[in-house]
Amino acid sequence: MRIQLDFSRFGRVLSVLAVAACLLPAGGLQAQTKPADPEAVRNASRAAAAKFLDRSRPQAERLAALRDLGYPDDRTAAALLGLGLDRTQSDTIRWEALQRVPYGDGYRETVLKILSDPGDGGEELDANLIADLSRRTAVTPPARIRQQIQSVWRKLLDDRRDKVRLQAYRALVSNHDSVALGLLVESLREGRGVPVPLPEAIDLLDQDGAVNYIGTLRPYLHHEDPSVQAKAARALAGDPESRPAIVELAKNPSTPGEVRLNALRALAREDDQFASYALPLMENGGEDPGIRLAAMKDFVGRMNYNRVAPADQVRFARAVEKLAGEKDLGTDESVKVKSAAQELHAYLLQAFPEVRKSYEKP
């Protein structure tokens, strides 16, 4: 679902191309500067690598050299791995070195060696390495390697450092790890000892598939912390039994804004009755401008990806038109609403035949 001001995946492509054409030199593409000399680039990269790898230089100077490092050759990559393992170096230098090493056995084994040693690496370095290894292991590796990584990450689930523990849960849950998920579910059901911040815990179960944890998540729909309640509302919008309560949260002006916004976003995706309360929120001049803006963006997101009754499309277009013509109240939020409505109304007339027909004279 979209919340940006671009209301169509293909919106304003021609305009962008036109602007790009205006930015070209007078002679067109041929007048652009020639590509840099490859040999000069290689020389600059070698010089940058030598400067960064020089342990005698000041850290600031070494970090500045990274701008010209480029993609390391095999020799430089091996030196970067050695730097990453060097405990005499700062964690900043070690992190900058390791994240520039191409993915492979050397990178993976080095990272796992650091993460396996409780005394090696500070909180930031270890948390960054978990996240980097997780991101780079996009394709499911062979079973042996997967188990090797999994074993190291699981040992970090009870790490005393908050950032390391959180990244370990994120990495494992993204791979549907039963141990990490079991610990999260058990702690959330008991309501104590949750190993990561509550909003993060709920978000992690939602990422794995909230439908599998509805009973565990429902109590948090009424949590006193708005950030927790917002995550629960977003996760449970697909649950028919929870949905009426989420709709009431979205409609109620006394509900914290964070909760209302998340509820609307999720309901636009899940609820076929979204028009019945989203449109009145848009049409209500006394409603919070941010909520009216969210309802408008979420509704057009639903129109783009779901079937919406023609009558609701037309009513929505009229509500957008009214918002576009409302008096500017001078606040940043009202300016955003008005500007977005003006842009959206033009898009609706172009993209939706039912809307366009409703404006045609008989």
At residue 246, does pLDDT exceed 90? yes
Which region holds residue 11: left if phi is over 0, alpha if psi is between -120 and 50, else beta?
A: beta
Torsion angle (degrees, nearest 10) of CA 135, 136, 142, 146 = -40
Q: Tell me what pLDDT residue 7 has.
A: 52
Q: Tell me what pLDDT residue 15 has.
A: 41
Which residues, 6 or more positions from 112, have their beta carbon under 8 angstroms from its beta carbon? 133, 148, 149, 152
Reported as a single tens digit per residue, the pLDDT across 174-232 is 999 999 999 999 999 999 999 999 999 999 999 999 999 999 999 999 999 999 999 99
How far is 138 from 63, CA to CA, in rounded Å?
Answer: 28
Worst-scoring range by mean pLDDT, 115-129, 186-200, 325-339? Answer: 325-339
Reported as a single tens digit per residue, the pLDDT across 52-64 is 999 999 999 999 9
How far is 63 from 7, CA to CA, in rounded Å?
Answer: 41
User: How many distinct helices (H) and strands (E) make up the chain?
Assistant: 20, 0
| 8 A C-beta contact, residue 112 and residue 148 | yes
List Cα–Cα distances, 138 to 9, 44, 153, 208, in angstroms: 26, 31, 16, 16
Mean pLDDT, residues 103-131 taken together: 97
How far is 291 from 233, CA to CA, in rounded Å?
Answer: 16
Encoding tokens for residue 256?
A: 């914290």
The pTM (predicted TM-score) of the whole model is 0.85
Q: State the Cα angle at 332 between 326 and 333, rounded to 5°.
A: 60
Q: Tell me what pLDDT residue 14 has.
A: 34
* Local confidence band at 331 (pLDDT 50, 70, 90 cut-offs): confident
* Local confidence band at 41 (pLDDT 50, 70, 90 cut-offs): confident
Torsion angle (degrees, nearest 10) of CA 18, 23, 27, 28 = -50
How far is 199 from 351, CA to CA, in rounded Å?
Answer: 38
Tell me 121's DSSP state: S
Q: Nearest to residue 161, comparing CAs of 127, 129, 185? A: 127
Encoding tokens for residue 291?
A: 């909520």
